[in-house]
Structure 1
Protein backbone atom coordinates (compact mmCIF):
# COMPACT_ATOMS: atom_id res chain seq x y z
CA UNK A 1 0.00 0.00 0.00
CA UNK A 2 1.47 3.27 -1.10
CA UNK A 3 -0.31 5.18 1.65
CA UNK A 4 1.64 3.65 4.52
CA UNK A 5 -0.91 0.93 5.16
CA UNK A 6 -3.59 3.20 6.58
CA UNK A 7 -6.22 2.34 3.96
CA UNK A 8 -6.26 -0.89 1.93
CA UNK A 9 -5.85 -0.12 -1.77
CA UNK A 10 -6.46 -1.85 -5.06
CA UNK A 11 -5.09 -0.84 -8.47
CA UNK A 12 -7.82 -1.50 -11.04
CA UNK A 13 -8.11 -1.59 -14.82
CA UNK A 14 -10.96 0.20 -16.59
CA UNK A 15 -11.59 -1.22 -20.05
CA UNK A 16 -14.64 0.19 -21.85
CA UNK A 17 -15.95 -1.09 -25.17
CA UNK A 18 -19.18 -0.08 -26.85
CA UNK A 19 -20.57 1.55 -23.70
CA UNK A 20 -19.82 -1.46 -21.50
CA UNK A 21 -17.03 -2.00 -18.99
CA UNK A 22 -15.10 -5.19 -18.27
CA UNK A 23 -15.65 -6.76 -14.85
CA UNK A 24 -14.65 -10.08 -13.33
CA UNK A 25 -15.97 -12.33 -10.60
CA UNK A 26 -13.75 -14.49 -8.41
CA UNK A 27 -14.69 -18.03 -7.43
CA UNK A 28 -16.94 -18.08 -4.37
CA UNK A 29 -18.04 -14.45 -4.76
CA UNK A 30 -21.37 -13.04 -5.91
CA UNK A 31 -20.21 -9.52 -6.73
CA UNK A 32 -18.22 -8.47 -9.78
CA UNK A 33 -15.12 -6.26 -9.60
CA UNK A 34 -12.84 -4.39 -11.94
CA UNK A 35 -9.80 -6.53 -12.71
CA UNK A 36 -6.71 -5.66 -10.72
CA UNK A 37 -5.41 -6.14 -7.23
CA UNK A 38 -3.18 -5.13 -4.35
CA UNK A 39 0.43 -4.01 -4.69
CA UNK A 40 3.29 -6.29 -3.78
CA UNK A 41 5.94 -4.57 -1.62
CA UNK A 42 7.82 -1.97 -3.66
CA UNK A 43 5.55 -2.14 -6.71
CA UNK A 44 4.36 0.93 -8.58
CA UNK A 45 0.78 1.20 -9.80
CA UNK A 46 1.97 0.29 -13.31
CA UNK A 47 3.85 -2.79 -12.14
CA UNK A 48 0.85 -3.89 -10.09
CA UNK A 49 -1.56 -3.49 -12.99
CA UNK A 50 0.70 -5.35 -15.43
CA UNK A 51 1.16 -8.26 -12.99
CA UNK A 52 -2.47 -8.48 -11.88
CA UNK A 53 -3.96 -8.39 -15.40
CA UNK A 54 -1.53 -11.06 -16.54
CA UNK A 55 -2.47 -13.20 -13.52
CA UNK A 56 -6.23 -12.68 -13.86
CA UNK A 57 -6.83 -12.38 -17.61
CA UNK A 58 -3.60 -13.49 -19.33
CA UNK A 59 -3.42 -10.16 -21.17
CA UNK A 60 -0.45 -7.79 -21.37
CA UNK A 61 -0.98 -4.19 -20.25
CA UNK A 62 1.06 -1.49 -22.01
CA UNK A 63 2.28 0.53 -19.00
CA UNK A 64 3.17 3.50 -21.22
CA UNK A 65 -0.51 3.83 -22.19
CA UNK A 66 -1.82 3.96 -18.60
CA UNK A 67 -3.99 6.99 -17.82
CA UNK A 68 -5.37 7.61 -14.33
CA UNK A 69 -9.16 7.60 -14.53
CA UNK A 70 -9.92 8.24 -10.88
CA UNK A 71 -9.42 7.23 -7.27
CA UNK A 72 -12.48 6.08 -5.37
CA UNK A 73 -12.87 5.68 -1.61
CA UNK A 74 -15.44 4.20 0.72
CA UNK A 75 -15.23 5.10 4.36
CA UNK A 76 -15.04 3.28 7.66
CA UNK A 77 -18.16 1.36 8.59
CA UNK A 78 -19.50 0.96 5.05
CA UNK A 79 -21.82 -2.08 4.77
CA UNK A 80 -19.54 -3.82 2.22
CA UNK A 81 -16.33 -3.05 4.07
CA UNK A 82 -14.33 0.03 4.71
CA UNK A 83 -12.25 1.97 4.52
CA UNK A 84 -11.06 1.00 1.06
CA UNK A 85 -9.48 2.85 -1.89
CA UNK A 86 -9.47 1.86 -5.56
CA UNK A 87 -7.06 3.58 -7.95
CA UNK A 88 -8.32 3.16 -11.52
CA UNK A 89 -6.44 3.35 -14.81
CA UNK A 90 -7.31 2.91 -18.43
CA UNK A 91 -4.63 1.22 -20.54
CA UNK A 92 -4.09 -0.49 -23.86
CA UNK A 93 -3.49 -4.22 -23.85
CA UNK A 94 -2.48 -7.07 -26.11
CA UNK A 95 -3.67 -10.64 -26.04
CA UNK A 96 -7.04 -12.23 -25.53
CA UNK A 97 -8.87 -11.63 -22.27
CA UNK A 98 -8.76 -15.19 -20.97
CA UNK A 99 -9.80 -15.68 -17.34
CA UNK A 100 -7.22 -17.53 -15.24
CA UNK A 101 -7.98 -20.11 -12.57
CA UNK A 102 -8.68 -17.42 -9.98
CA UNK A 103 -11.40 -15.81 -12.12
CA UNK A 104 -14.73 -17.61 -12.37
CA UNK A 105 -16.27 -15.27 -14.93
CA UNK A 106 -15.71 -12.11 -16.96
CA UNK A 107 -18.55 -9.92 -18.15
CA UNK A 108 -19.25 -6.61 -19.87
CA UNK A 109 -21.59 -4.44 -17.79
CA UNK A 110 -23.61 -1.32 -18.51
CA UNK A 111 -24.40 1.30 -15.87
CA UNK A 112 -27.71 -0.48 -15.18
CA UNK A 113 -25.68 -3.45 -13.86
CA UNK A 114 -24.00 -1.41 -11.10
CA UNK A 115 -26.01 -3.18 -8.40
CA UNK A 116 -24.00 -6.35 -9.24
CA UNK A 117 -20.63 -4.78 -8.33
CA UNK A 118 -18.97 -3.81 -5.05
CA UNK A 119 -19.65 -0.42 -3.45
CA UNK A 120 -16.32 1.09 -4.50
CA UNK A 121 -16.72 -0.24 -8.05
CA UNK A 122 -20.21 1.34 -8.17
CA UNK A 123 -18.57 4.75 -7.57
CA UNK A 124 -16.39 4.21 -10.64
CA UNK A 125 -19.44 3.03 -12.62
CA UNK A 126 -21.15 6.34 -11.79
CA UNK A 127 -18.07 8.34 -12.84
CA UNK A 128 -17.86 6.44 -16.14
CA UNK A 129 -21.57 7.09 -16.74
CA UNK A 130 -21.23 10.83 -15.95
CA UNK A 131 -18.30 10.98 -18.38
CA UNK A 132 -20.51 9.51 -21.12
CA UNK A 133 -18.40 6.37 -21.42
CA UNK A 134 -20.82 3.86 -19.92
CA UNK A 135 -24.31 3.44 -21.33
Structure 2
Protein backbone atom coordinates (compact mmCIF):
# COMPACT_ATOMS: atom_id res chain seq x y z
CA UNK A 1 0.00 0.00 0.00
CA UNK A 2 1.28 3.44 -0.92
CA UNK A 3 2.00 6.07 1.71
CA UNK A 4 0.58 9.56 1.27
CA UNK A 5 2.53 12.73 2.00
CA UNK A 6 1.23 16.28 2.00
CA UNK A 7 3.72 18.97 1.02
CA UNK A 8 3.88 22.61 0.00
CA UNK A 9 6.37 23.77 -2.63
CA UNK A 10 7.33 27.11 -4.15
CA UNK A 11 8.43 28.02 -7.67
CA UNK A 12 10.85 30.88 -7.12
CA UNK A 13 11.41 32.80 -10.35
CA UNK A 14 14.18 35.38 -10.88
CA UNK A 15 14.36 38.40 -13.20
CA UNK A 16 15.70 36.21 -16.03
CA UNK A 17 12.67 33.89 -15.83
CA UNK A 18 14.72 31.08 -14.32
CA UNK A 19 13.32 28.75 -11.65
CA UNK A 20 15.23 27.82 -8.50
CA UNK A 21 15.78 24.07 -8.13
CA UNK A 22 17.11 22.49 -4.95
CA UNK A 23 18.60 19.10 -4.12
CA UNK A 24 18.40 17.76 -0.60
CA UNK A 25 21.45 16.17 1.03
CA UNK A 26 21.70 12.45 0.28
CA UNK A 27 19.28 12.56 -2.69
CA UNK A 28 19.71 12.68 -6.47
CA UNK A 29 16.57 14.53 -7.63
CA UNK A 30 16.15 18.28 -8.01
CA UNK A 31 12.84 19.82 -6.91
CA UNK A 32 11.40 23.11 -5.70
CA UNK A 33 12.01 24.36 -2.16
CA UNK A 34 9.32 23.26 0.27
CA UNK A 35 8.34 20.45 2.58
CA UNK A 36 5.86 18.83 4.91
CA UNK A 37 3.54 20.80 7.21
CA UNK A 38 4.02 20.94 10.94
CA UNK A 39 0.93 20.22 13.05
CA UNK A 40 -1.84 22.73 12.35
CA UNK A 41 -0.06 24.57 9.52
CA UNK A 42 -1.89 25.60 6.36
CA UNK A 43 -0.18 25.00 3.00
CA UNK A 44 0.70 28.71 2.84
CA UNK A 45 2.16 28.73 6.37
CA UNK A 46 4.16 25.61 5.51
CA UNK A 47 5.72 27.07 2.38
CA UNK A 48 6.59 30.36 4.12
CA UNK A 49 8.33 28.46 6.96
CA UNK A 50 10.14 26.13 4.55
CA UNK A 51 11.42 29.06 2.41
CA UNK A 52 12.85 30.59 5.57
CA UNK A 53 14.41 27.33 6.85
CA UNK A 54 15.86 26.21 3.52
CA UNK A 55 16.85 29.54 1.94
CA UNK A 56 16.85 32.13 4.74
CA UNK A 57 14.19 34.24 2.97
CA UNK A 58 11.34 36.05 4.73
CA UNK A 59 8.25 35.81 2.54
CA UNK A 60 4.72 36.90 3.42
CA UNK A 61 1.37 35.69 2.08
CA UNK A 62 1.31 38.70 -0.28
CA UNK A 63 4.62 37.57 -1.83
CA UNK A 64 3.20 34.24 -3.05
CA UNK A 65 0.57 33.17 -5.57
CA UNK A 66 -1.29 29.88 -5.13
CA UNK A 67 -1.12 27.72 -8.28
CA UNK A 68 -3.23 24.77 -7.20
CA UNK A 69 -2.62 21.22 -6.09
CA UNK A 70 -0.89 18.27 -7.76
CA UNK A 71 -1.01 14.59 -6.86
CA UNK A 72 1.70 12.21 -8.06
CA UNK A 73 4.69 10.06 -7.15
CA UNK A 74 7.23 11.26 -4.59
CA UNK A 75 10.76 11.93 -5.84
CA UNK A 76 12.88 10.26 -3.17
CA UNK A 77 10.51 7.85 -1.42
CA UNK A 78 9.36 4.62 -3.06
CA UNK A 79 5.70 3.63 -2.80
CA UNK A 80 4.75 7.17 -1.78
CA UNK A 81 2.23 9.56 -3.33
CA UNK A 82 2.45 13.28 -2.64
CA UNK A 83 -0.29 15.86 -2.59
CA UNK A 84 1.50 19.13 -3.27
CA UNK A 85 0.20 22.66 -2.85
CA UNK A 86 2.13 24.78 -5.36
CA UNK A 87 2.96 28.47 -4.91
CA UNK A 88 4.90 30.91 -7.10
CA UNK A 89 7.04 33.77 -5.88
CA UNK A 90 9.74 36.11 -7.16
CA UNK A 91 13.30 36.39 -5.87
CA UNK A 92 16.34 37.83 -7.59
CA UNK A 93 19.47 37.57 -5.54
CA UNK A 94 22.19 35.28 -4.25
CA UNK A 95 21.14 32.30 -2.14
CA UNK A 96 23.02 29.63 -0.21
CA UNK A 97 21.60 26.21 0.71
CA UNK A 98 20.55 25.88 4.35
CA UNK A 99 19.01 23.12 6.49
CA UNK A 100 18.87 19.83 4.55
CA UNK A 101 19.67 21.42 1.16
CA UNK A 102 22.94 20.51 -0.53
CA UNK A 103 22.70 22.19 -3.94
CA UNK A 104 20.87 25.11 -5.57
CA UNK A 105 20.44 25.70 -9.29
CA UNK A 106 18.84 28.59 -11.20
CA UNK A 107 17.78 27.31 -14.63
CA UNK A 108 15.40 28.24 -17.45
CA UNK A 109 12.29 26.00 -17.35
CA UNK A 110 12.90 24.82 -20.93
CA UNK A 111 16.48 23.83 -20.07
CA UNK A 112 15.41 22.14 -16.86
CA UNK A 113 13.02 19.88 -18.77
CA UNK A 114 16.04 18.40 -20.59
CA UNK A 115 17.50 17.08 -17.32
CA UNK A 116 17.10 13.49 -16.13
CA UNK A 117 17.44 14.30 -12.41
CA UNK A 118 14.10 16.02 -11.72
CA UNK A 119 11.37 15.16 -9.24
CA UNK A 120 8.11 14.01 -10.90
CA UNK A 121 6.21 17.05 -9.58
CA UNK A 122 8.72 19.38 -11.22
CA UNK A 123 9.00 17.48 -14.53
CA UNK A 124 5.37 16.51 -15.02
CA UNK A 125 3.56 19.57 -13.66
CA UNK A 126 5.55 22.63 -12.58
CA UNK A 127 7.86 23.12 -15.56
CA UNK A 128 5.11 22.55 -18.18
CA UNK A 129 2.92 25.02 -16.24
CA UNK A 130 5.68 27.67 -16.26
CA UNK A 131 6.48 27.18 -19.95
CA UNK A 132 2.81 27.37 -20.91
CA UNK A 133 2.23 30.50 -18.80
CA UNK A 134 5.50 32.45 -18.49
CA UNK A 135 6.06 34.80 -15.55
CA UNK A 136 5.50 38.49 -16.31
Q: TM-score range by the shorter chain?
A: 0.7 to 0.9
Residue of structure 2 equivalent to 1:120: 121
Map Cα deviations across residues 26-64 of structure 1 (whole Å, 9 max, x no partner). 111111110010101100122111211111111111222
1:113 and 1:124 map into 2 onto residues whose CA distance is 11
Corresponding position: 1:83 with 2:95: no
Map Cα deviations across residues 57-100 of structure 1 (whole Å, 9 max, x no partner). 11111222321123222169xx9654222211123569853311
Corresponding position: 1:16 with 2:13: yes
User: Greater CA deviation, 19-28 or 87-96?
Assistant: 87-96
Inter-CA distance 14–66: structure 2 relative to 1 (3 Å threshold):
same
Give the unaligned 5+ runs of structure 1: 1-5
TM-score for the superposition, normalised by structure 1: 0.79
Contact 1:60–1:95 (Cα < 8 Å) also in 2: no
Contact 1:85–1:120 (Cα < 8 Å) also in 2: no
Corresponding position: 1:32 with 2:34: no
User: Greater CA deviation, 15-24 or 80-89?
Assistant: 80-89
Map Cα deviations across residues 109-133 of structure 1 (whole Å, 9 max, x no partner). 2223233211111121111111134
After superposition, the CA RMSD in angstroms is 2.6
| Partner SS state of residue 26, structure 2 | coil
Contact 1:59–1:98 (Cα < 8 Å) also in 2: no
More strand by share: 2
Give the unaligned 5+ runs of structure 2: none
Corresponding position: 1:65 with 2:63: yes
Contact 2:36–2:46 (Cα < 8 Å) also in 1: yes
Inter-CA distance 64–116: structure 2 relative to 1 (3 Å threshold):
same
Please show how residues 37-52 of structure 1 align to structure 2 within 5 Å: 37-52=35-50
